[in-house]
Structure 1
């Protein structure tokens, strides 16, 4: 295979990065919207007295955590897409679909499905970190955020044995339902902490002052034109 000139190769990598961000961000939003609609339909199909509201809440929080986790990873690191990214993303989506489908099967079954979702979430985070490290676009930011993102991935993977342990326990259903909500909320909290620490890197006073100055110069340049 003939090699591309360096400038052409760099331009191609830029397009591949943009395609990865745009495609997966769009897919993430569409898939999440479809799953929320499916969740609503499943709830409305159940007899009102049999609707497991705590599991419904836990499922909704899990959906938000999945959407937020992928969106924020896409915002933080850029690299050309790989087949592993697609497989893990669709795997996570399929796992959440199964979780919603089994909403009326009881908390034990739901927790098993949640363990699968957590597995895909943690593995997907590690996979995106691997992609981010391989691309020079992320050389400046990766050393600052890699530790936090790796800890977030480990936290998601830690939910796997915890959920399976709860699923095989003899605890009453009400307690398991509450544990499901707490677990989903914790997943959101972990994601929010990591995101907050990452955003803080861009929110120093000198950075904000520099950005304001650049915006003023851009506005003045636009007025002169």
Structure 2
């Protein structure tokens, strides 16, 4: 049986001399592995279309073990995101976490939609990228069964009570991304709140899911941020 679906390329693994096995993530199939026969041949232009982070449409033969690609079409390569290292590494962090944490053959339709929207916003540079990544992490935890209870975290870690406005802003992360966009400028000014959210998410994920410091792309983002901070301090 042939299946056709849109999908995000998560990771590529060389297979034999000329082929590539890709892990992909789609709304209809979840995370699955696909073999692209002959993808490494010079006359074959498939390898450029299946770069990690690309959005493709694929038709494949649904075998019980390894699924074989029949036809592929590149939908979007997010070229603007690849121009800037920060944007690129955020995209890579997202697909790395999807690859590591989502179960094979299990559908996550809401999470898939979230990722497509986030990739579009990053590519268009129309929202604060750090806020987008926090939104992704919150949605990821919710979809894989480890929803974060921020109320418990903040009540245990802060002596002062949170303002109603801060609570409202945090609740926005549990809504659709368009609601978050409306508060983007306001959220960007709440540096302390953003840092508190990041600490809560990192602690929650380390205790329940994965240590985010083990993700290569996240470490690269930290290194870049440390370098920028160091340059700023030297300039002062």
TM-score by length of 1: 0.35
State the structure with more CA Rg.
1
- The higher relative CO (CA closer than 8 Å, separation ≥ 6) is in 1
TM-score by length of 2: 0.34
